[in-house]
Amino acid sequence: MKIMESLKIENLRVAREGKEIVKGVSLEIHPGEVHALMGPNGSGKSTLANALMGHPKCVVLGGTIVIDGHDVTTLPPHERAKLGLFLSVQSTPEIPGLTFGSFLRAAWNAVKGEKVGPLEFKSKLDVALARFKMDPTFARRGLNEGFSGGEKKRAEIIQLAVLEPKYAVLDETDAGLDVDALRVVADGINGLRGPKLGVLLITHYAKMLELVKPDYVHVIRDGRLVASGGPELAKKIEAEGYGS
């Protein structure tokens, strides 16, 4: 029997620092779909994203996370990555001494279970850098060291392009971007859309969803999904807010 391919979240409850933040969220994302998750500050969006990737500070109180039939609820982050899950976080640390290119090659080798040499990987990375209008010297810079907000976000999209995950959770990839950088990131996401990639796009802003048109929109408030619909739901939120 063929296993249904999906990232399936079922009745997930998550605590952080002893407080329950996510309170029974159920959601299923199939390859080829883009789901947007919106909600006010403190609603549980980032806690949900981090819990999906297995952040140690996010304690699962109940429910399950299943990738293509594999229950990953208790697996460490690197095992989830090997099964095709990718997380782009809001705030990325600077790591002087580790170049972006070296970091990404190590990630490739770990996720793919292959040992790609520096020269072979450079060719792959150069293609991705050119695709997203980044200078090849970017690969030689310290990881996130001195990166502008836009550069950090574009670096995450380049990681997504190179690692080719099956499911991508993008946590406020639009945060702090000017109009030009937002368009570059949105174009990058649109360029990677296709039948082999499922996306959970977490955002505050309906503007992002004008550039990256989702198939489904969900609203989370106080740790619970309170509404789901199509792209028209984002427009309603922009006009009316999240309500009480």
199 inside domain? yes
For range 106-125, the mean pLDDT:
88
How do residues 225-239 score in pLDDT, each as one tens digit?
A: 999 999 999 888 888
The total domain count for the chain is: 1
Task: Give the contacts of 114 (CB within 8 A, at least 6 positions apart).
Answer: 108
Burial 112-138 (b: 16+ CB within 10 A, else e): eeeeeeeeebbeebeebbeebebeeeb
Q: What is the side-by-side strand order in the sheet with 34-38?
A: 85-88, 167-171, 198-202, 34-38, 216-221, 224-229
Give dist(CA 100, CA 5) in Å, integer.
Answer: 32
pLDDT at position 48 over 90: yes
217 inside domain? yes
61 inside domain? yes
107 inside domain? yes
- Interhelix angle 179-192/149-163, rounded to 10 degrees, is 10
Under DSSP, the state recorded for 90 is S
12 inside domain? yes
CATH number at residue 148: 3.40.50.300
243 inside domain? no
Under DSSP, the state recorded for 101 is H
240 inside domain? no
How do residues 118-143 score in pLDDT, each as one tens digit?
A: 888 988 899 888 888 788 888 899 88
Between 133 and 6, the more confident residue is 6
How do residues 166-198 score in pLDDT, each as one tens digit?
A: 999 999 887 777 788 788 888 889 989 999 999
Instruction: Give 44: exposed, middle or buried? Use CB within 10 Å, 0-12, 13-18, 19+.
Output: buried
Q: Quote the domain boundaries for residue 184.
A: 7-235
pLDDT at position 1 over 70: no
241 inside domain? no
Burial 210-239 (b: 16+ CB within 10 A, else e): eebebbbbbbbbebebebeeebebbeebee
Considering only CA atoms, which of 218, 205, 202 is closest in space to residue 156?
202
